Structure 1
Amino acid sequence: MKLTVTVLSVFLYLGVSAQQIQNNPGSNHGNKFEQLGTILPTPNVYRTASGAPGHAYWQNRADYEISAYLDEDKRNLRGSETVTYHNNSPDDLDYIWLQLDENQQSSVKKADYPFSSTLPKAVNDQQLKVSELPVKDNGYGVNLEKVTDASGNPLKYTVNKTMMRIDLPKVLKKGEKFIFKIDWNYNIPNRMKMGGRGGYENFPEDGNDLYTITQWFPRMCVYSDFQGWQNHQFTGRGEFALVFGNYKVSVNVPADHIVGGTGECKNYEQVLTSDQLARYRQAEKASEPVEIVTLDEAKKAEKNRSKQRKTWVFEAKDVRDFAWTSSRKFVWDGMGVLIPENNNKVMAMSFYPKEAYGLYRKFSTKAVAHTIKTYSEYTVPYPYPVAQSVEASNGMEYPMICFNFGRTEKDGTYSEGTKNGMIGVIIHEVGHNFFPMIINSDERQWSWMDEGLNTFTEYLTEEKWDNKFPSKRGPAWTIVDYMRLPKDQLEPIMSNSENIIQFGPNAYAKPATGLNILRETIMGRELFDKAFKTYSKRWAFKHPEPADFFRTMEDASGEDLDWFWRGWFYGTDPVDIAIDKVTIATPDFAAVQQEREIKYKVEKPVQNEFEDISKIRNREDKTITFEVEKDKSLQDFYYRYDRGQEKVDHNKEYTFKTEGSEALDKKDQEKLKNFTAYQIDFVNKGGLVMPIILEFTFEDGTKLRDKSSAQIWRYNEQKVSKTFYFDKKLKSIQLDPMRETADIDTSNNFWSHDRSTSETSKFQVFKQKKDGPVRGGGNGRVNPMQAAGKKN
């Protein structure tokens, strides 16, 4: 952790709340409106007291040339990159840091931020595994083949989990650049089973894959004036701190794949058919989406697999990342969009499989266009030539491209929840082009600076889409239930991304709601909008920190808002960890979940629970014309249904069957009959967290060891539990066997089965029938559109 003393008080890496730093804590006044001067970092030549970049502000840069090869048969990606790193800082650098995010998918290279685990009430056979100690390599993660300088000379490097340090052959001084090359490969994970933001999704019905290739190449870390190297590990949650640069990327894929990527494709003439190229040229000038690759073409491509290859070439300028997608399943449509503020002509496009056609063809590209136009009004004019939405049963963002969900039922109908969820996620993820792709905050440390600011602007954009849009985050009343939670379930917004339990309310909803309260109730729309736009302009293509936002909002509005930041946005213990209790459980093979029939009625029209002030004022504002009123093609069944123009029998009962589970067969039961599960409960009596180091001794005399890093305490500093599955019985457990944590009381560090009064129980084991439901798809129930016999 590299922080200056002046910054440490605000960035709170150790979880101490800045809210408690007060000059007069014993008084009944003078605290809530105390200025933030003692908390915010001291202004300097890089960042001014006004919140603007200082006259000596600098940031480094990285330019990339990358070639990639997608091996669909092996589901492997090979890559080679040349990076030109520009040191614009006043510092001499003798090493540089890069991110290897794909290592988070590895069982042995990941960041090791474990979670507390407890005995389940039921598990499926895929989840039930022997706790393998030591952990075996699952074959995922980055394989580095070669790291050299521009002349091919090997460079010394060190990989620390998801981070890679390269030692420079000579000091890199201010104004100099360093060119180096890396060759690598990795096995592409099934993200529908393994999770994560990138990977492949397989469609068993036609045997094809849809690839979302993200965080896929070694990427430069940020070196900044306020922190030095941002090389915090990637745990799968806290997103990215990245530098701007220019990209030239060549992607070699099967010839029948369609590829979308960050930036502009430079060789459509070589990779598209003449008909597709003609449609693309037509789409550039169209005011309605044009199918560049048609539904019929996508269906035909699904049935064949080409043995030929094609290379797609993309270029992007002044972006902080590059992502791409590839599949033979894609329908592709697009249209041109003009951004009036900078006269920028943008190609808005969507890629989607046939499973999403009924929703994406109608809404996606128009939602993309609406988003970049509306965000441009509130922040900065959209500067890039492309904006793309990809349906990938997902929700994740990268420069000029994002991955969203939204699939119909097999008959082409959809629920209103799916429709609204899809539109909302498209607006949200496309909106991330502004926060943080352009206004480039450090997501690894401050989730709210991208998710919160973006969710707020998403709310403004949803409101301009349809005045009846059921926004869940933004209006003040929607945050009330979260604010009612006990204090032990809440964290300040100013918290590190990894340590938040209620992540959605904390990082998305509460900051968005706070900004809406400022806009509507405290500052007024005019003052707020000018200040918010000032912040966006000041920090476009730069690296803002929280203090830059707080100070700019006050500087540009003339409002003293320290009390609001303090209230809305901002605990020397020894080690004594004890084994408090061990619970033992054995398998129960008889408890099979049965099918059930559920009676239900078709849902009534969606109505907002409360007509909040934003909706009322937007209706009264004659300068606002809602998108669904301007564009009649957006007025679908649910538009009419919500307004009482479609009739559905809400008294008719339907039957929905839930799927049961299958019992394990005798062979599998025999394999698992000796399994025993142990839940070990630990108590942190001393207060200081430390790693949990365990030595297991089994009845046959063999031993195993396990070590959980101290991060296991991050959600609960007093109590945690760890569950292990073994195929033989434990005799004893020793905590801290080598006495390496300075534990002040070792008498509570041992458990023996002989002397135990442990609780015993059963855990259900059954066979999982299939993978879980696809995000954004149907739930098997009759929706109002089906009940009415309509498809539009």
Structure 2
Amino acid sequence: MKKLVLSIFIFGLAGQLIGQDQSKFKQLKEELATPNVYRTASGAPGHEYYQQKADYNMQIVLDDAAQQISGKETITYTNNSPDVLTYLWVQLDQNMRAKDSDTKLISSEDINKFKYPGSLQRHFDYANFDGGFKIEGVTDYAGNKLTYTIVKTMMRIELPKPMLSKGKFSFKIDWHYNINNRMEIGGRSGLEYFEKEDNYIYTIAQFFPRMCVYNDVEGWQNKQFLGNGEFTLPFGDYEVAITVPSDHVVSATGVLSNAGKILSDDQLDRLKEAADAEKPVFIVTPEEALEAEKSKAKDTKTWKFEAKNVRDFAFASSRKFIWDAQVVKQKTKDVMAMSFYPKEGNPLWERYSTRVIVQTLKTYSKHTFDYPYPVAISVHTDRIGMEYPMICFNGGRPNADGTYSERTKYGMHSVIIHEVGHNYFPMIVNSDERQWTWMDEGLNTFLQYLTEQEWQRDYPSRRGPANLIVDYMKGDKSNIVPIMTNSESLLQFGNNAYGKPATALNILRETVMGRELFDYAFKTYATRWMFKHPTPADFFRTMEDASAIDLDWFWRGWFMTTDHVDIALKNVSHYELNTMNTEKELAFNESVAKAGPKNISEIRNKTAIKQTENERDPSLNDKYIGVDENALSEAEIKKNERILENLSDKEKALLDAGYQFYQLDFENIGGLVMPIILSFTFEDNSTEVVRIPAEIWKRNNFEVSKVFIFKKQVKNIQLDPFIETADTDTGNNAWPSQVVPSRFNMFKSGSRY
């Protein structure tokens, strides 16, 4: 411990620029698009913001014998942009499965992939599958042929005449394609085959030619679909008729408009009951589904659905489906939560699926807006999790005997929460998935975490809390890219697009902004951009605009770099004030001398030397022996007396108050600037937590010091005591230093000892 001289009264730690890079707090000017009439500097839509509209009328046929989908669709496209369009771009996502697909060519692989018969067979199944759209015709509404060019997963349609602003154009596309067995060759949609009973579950999506987005940011977003980057779509209204075998049950985006012709009287009554039920009610019972499984109807039924203001349409069809439903009450409207699942999903699915949907809508709506659609549907099929407006396909299957592990149960809960949650991001807050995966996956994973915790206390969430991202953050930087990386170029897809942005948002909420400010700003973003097309800049700007907190350093560090958090408590120095009192200072010096370490000779001489000469003859001693080295000089005494004479009574009182000064020196090893959170434990075992904003690093990004003044002595200091900053090395976070226990493997693979 050291004594501070009187200059402590004018104490100040002035940050000095020492020639180091201060870019971590540079404002995001060049990185973000210039605000304009379409998108404002506040992050809100501008007064001339526009978006296109695409309405669909479709007749779809599911051929259960041939495993084929065919469709006739009419698209009415409205040009709300100020621009004149001479052609339209349409997405042909199924062409990813065509034999000449780029997706197959660009997939990196080595010979180890083919070591096992199963993987080799899967390769041949994938390579030889005749996927892709078979376009049978493209005409205008009157039936006149239109010129079109297919460019892999995109199709350009030449307009007969330029399409003016506010103009509309209707055209027709006839097509078919073979349905992929996604259990064998993968895919977000496709079929699952049940060999024992020769039945199928079809989960069908990306199944029709769909309009590309045209906007003020990209123009036409016609980036090829390669597999990772998902879907960017305009809003519109849908009328869809789906013809399937008469013993099938169909679930789809939208509202079933001909239920009276499709469902039995008993099923209609149950549907009415469910509209006011607090627990799930069977619409199609397990017994009815089991009976349907045994049949193979030759005739067909047509299910008709209507959906307003949606960006996409998907459906599921099977004779195996059990169907249950219950209502979710909201201030603005009631919503029907529904689940469709085969007997193989029970008992998990009938017990949990619909109830998890209900909780998801409650939590997400609290943090964004009331769920605006009439239904929210979860469909079960094995090993998949994928989302579409009002409907999603989810895994989580028990064992054949109905037993299941804890992992299966929570995995099923989490995937339902996640996929139902995607209704909010990106189905309603309609970000560009083809470009920025994190804008829907990251935001959605963050809200998934909040929902899991509201579903069950101590829910085993895999993503969200800061400590769960540490291993990724401290990993090999050659295998890590910034969050702000195009979807197709991501490395460690799950960590980058799901885990890291979800963690970043949770840190913003818990550590940087606080829950109240964060929740207000996040809700502002959601409501500003519901049913619109936001960009990353719109999100970044809105979060700052609604909170009055400068977050540019945070977006830069967490989203635009691969820096990690490793802040070290490098050194702690303890001081007390010089009281200027000769007697007290002499006593202090003596106590320090006695408390200090002893050299080895001094320790051993205490026993080795039985008696010194002055111990035998005390007359040799005088009053200075033992204290000379600690005594104050006459000059020091006089200087202290002069200082005391010039102090006020308040200043003299401060000298005797017993203040303890601690200078803490910090080092930013990981490069990612973050708030400094400290927990002080005092000699009386009381504690105090101090939170220092990240701006302490503004003038020196790598080394800072801070002095703390207490009235009692500190015995322990802990940095990041609540593991809330994703600090990758907690071994340098404590004073006195602490050993962090770890495990090691005594035996290595391939080693004898």
TM-score, normalised with respect to structure 2 = 0.71
What one-letter code is carried by the residue in structure 2 that aligns with 1:526? E
Distance between the aligned counterparts of 1:109 and 1:169, measured in 2? 30
**Matching of residues 351-366 of structure 1 within 5 Å:** 351-366=340-355
User: 2:98, 2:132 within 8 Å by CA — same for their partners in 1?
Assistant: yes
Q: Measure how far apart 1:407 and its partner are.
A: 1.3
C-alpha deviation, 1:123, in angstroms: 2.6
Identical aligned residues as a percent: 58
Matched, 1:508 2:498: yes
Question: CA offsets, 1:274-309, max 9 Å, x none?
Answer: 111111111111111001111111111111111110
Q: 2-side partners of 1:73 and 1:522: how far apart? A: 58
In the superposition, relative to structure 1, how do residues 405 and 525 fare at CA in structure 2: closer, same or farther (>3 Å)? same
Partner deviation per Cα, 1:694-742 (whole Å, 9 max, x = no partner): xxxxxxxxxxxxxxxxxxxxxxxxxxxxxxxxxxxxxxxxxxxxxxxxx
Structure 2 unmatched ranges of 5 or more: 1-16, 562-676, 678-753
Distance 1:262 1:180 in 2: 23
Q: Residues 80-104 of structure 1, C-alpha deviation per residue, up to 9 Å, x if partnerless? A: 0000000000100000101111111
Deviation at 1:256, TM superposition (A): 0.2
Match of 1:79 among 71, 78, 93: 71
Aligned counterpart, 2:185: 194
**Alignment-derived partner of residue 350 in structure 1:** 339
Tell me by how many angstroms 1:136 deviates. Answer: 7.9
1:559 aligns with 2:585: no
* Contact 1:111/1:161, CA 8 A, preserved across alignment: no
Provide, for residues 539-593 of structure 1, a one-character-per-residue CA deviation record: whole Å limited to 9, x for no partner.
000000000000000000000000000000019xxxxxxxxxxxxxxxxxxxxxx
Would you say 1:398 and 2:388 are equivalent positions? yes
Give the match for residue 533 of structure 1.
Answer: 523
Q: How does 1:208-247 map to 2 (within 5 A)?
A: 208-247=199-238
Cα distance in structure 1, aligned partners of 2:268 and 2:102: 43
Q: What SS does structure 1 have at the residue aligned with 2:454?
A: helix
What is the Cα deviation at residue 127 of structure 1? Answer: 4.2
Corresponding residue of 1:299: 290
Q: What does 1:26-105 align with in structure 2 at a 5 Å threshold?
A: 27-105=19-97
Paired with 2:104 and 2:526, the residues of 1 have a C-alpha distance of 36
User: Counterpart of 1:156 in structure 2: which amino acid?
Assistant: T
Give the deviation of 1:205 after TM superposition: 1.7
Provide the residue aligned with 1:476 in structure 2: 466
Counterpart residue number, 2:651: none
Note the C-alpha offset of 1:458.
0.7
Matching of residue 281 in structure 1 with residue 267 in structure 2: no
1:220 alignment partner AA: M
Task: Name the CA distance, whole Å, in 2 between partners of 1:283 and 1:208.
Answer: 28
| Stretches (4+) displaced over 4 A | 110-113, 129-132
Q: Distance in 1 between matches of 2:408 and 2:349?
A: 11
Equivalent residues of 1:110, 1:162 under 8 A apart: no
Report what 1:464 is aligned to. Answer: 454
- Larger relative contact order, structure 1 or 2 (CA cutoff 8 Å, min sep 6): 1
**2 CA distance for matches of 1:286 and 1:308?**
34
Contact 2:237 2:308 in 1 (8 A): yes
Judge conservation of contact 1:334–1:349 (CA < 8 Å) in 2.
Answer: yes
Mapping of residues 370-381 of structure 1, within 5 Å = 370-381=359-370
Larger Cα-atom Rg: 2
Q: What does the per-residue CA deviation read over 1:327-382, in whole Å, with 9 as the maximum and x for residues that have no partner?
A: 00000000111122x2x110100000100020010100000011111101001110
For residues 337 and 326 of structure 1, do their structure 2 counterparts lie closer, same or farther at Cα, with a shift above 3 Å needed? Answer: same
Q: Are the equivalent residues in 2 in contact too, given 1:108–1:136 (CA < 8 A)?
A: no
Residue type at the aligned position of 1:522: V
Match of 2:565 in 1: none
Instruction: Name the amino acid aligned to 2:109.
Output: S
Q: Distance in 1 between matches of 2:135 and 2:214?
A: 23
Deviations 1:241-288 (A, max 9, x none): 000000000000000000000000001111111111111111111111
Distance 1:277 1:489, change over 3 A: same
Give the AA of the match of 2:193: N
Matching residue's letter, 2:220:
W
Equivalent positions of 1:539-578 (< 5 A) are: 539-570=529-560
Q: Which amino acid aligns with 1:490?
A: I
Cross-structure match for 1:152:
143
C-alpha separation between the residues in 1 aligned to 2:396 and 2:163? 48
Q: How far apart, CA to CA, are the structure 2 residues paired with 1:190 and 1:160?
A: 25
Matches within 5 A, 1:594-743: none
Which amino acid in 2 is paired with 1:79?
Answer: G
SS where residue 185 of structure 1 aligns? strand
Q: Do the aligned residues in 1 keep the contact of 2:113 with 2:119 (CA within 8 Å)?
A: no
Task: Give secondary structure in 2 for the equivalent of 1:120.
Answer: helix
Shift of 1:115: 2.4
Residue 67 of structure 2 aligns with an amino acid whose one-letter code is R
The superposition leaves residues 14-47 of structure 1 with CA deviations (integer Å, 9 ceiling, x where unpaired) of xxxxxxxxxxx99414211010012111100000
Following TM superposition, by how much is the alpha carbon of 1:122 offset from its aligned partner in structure 2, in angstroms?
A: 5.8
Cα distance in 2 between the residues matched to 1:137 and 1:168: 35
Paired letter, 1:67 = Q
Q: Match for 2:135: what amino acid?
A: L
CA contact (8 A) 1:402 1:430 kept: yes
The residue type equivalent to 1:189 in the other structure is N
Q: Give me the TM-score of the superposition, normalised by structure 1.
A: 0.67
Whether contact under 8 Å (2:436, 2:485) holds in the other structure is yes
SS at match of 2:372: coil
Aligned partners of 2:114 and 2:120 also within 8 Å: no
What is the identity, as a one-letter code, of the residue corresponding to 1:187? N
Indicate conservation of the 8 Å contact 1:103/1:110, yes or no: no
Alpha-carbon distance change, 407 to 111 in structure 1, aligned in 2, over 3 angstroms = closer
1:485 to 466, 469, 475: 475
Deviation at 1:466, TM superposition (A): 0.7
| Counterpart residue type for residue 362 of structure 1 | R
Q: For 2:122 and 2:531, how far apart are their aligned partners in 1?
A: 49
**Of 243, 248, 258, the match for 1:267:** 258
> Contact 1:65/1:83 (CA < 8 Å) preserved in 2?
yes
* SS state at 2:23 partner: coil
**Do 2:97 and 2:130's aligned partners in 1 also have CA atoms closer than 8 Å?**
no
Q: Within 5 Å, which residues of 2 pair with 1:329-340?
A: 329-340=320-331
CA deviation map 1:23-77 (0-9, x unaligned): xx99414211010012111100000000000001000000000010011001111
Q: Is the 8 A contact 2:57 2:75 kept in 1?
A: yes
CA drift at 1:121:
7.4
Query: Amino acid of the residue matched to residue 165 of structure 1?
Result: R
Aligned to 2:691: none
Query: How far apart, CA to CA, are the structure 2 residues paired with 1:219 and 1:121?
Result: 34
Q: 1:318 to 1:27 in 2, by over 3 A?
A: farther
Contact residue 255 and residue 308 of structure 1 kept, 8 A: yes
Q: CA deviation at 1:116?
A: 2.2
Distance change (3 Å), C-alpha of 1:126 and 1:357? closer
Deviations 1:159-182 (A, max 9, x none): 011111101000001000000000
Match of 1:581 in 2: none
Q: State the secondary structure of the residue aligned to 2:251.
A: strand
Residue 700 of structure 2 corresponds to none
Cα deviation for residue 137 of structure 1 reads 6.3
Structure in which a larger fraction of residues adopt helix: 2
Q: Work out whether residues 339 and 376 of structure 1, in 8 Å CA contact, stay in contact via their aligned partners in 2.
A: no
C-alpha distance in 1 between matches for 2:119 and 2:478: 30
Instruction: Output the CA distance in 1 between the equivalents of 2:503 and 2:128.
Output: 44
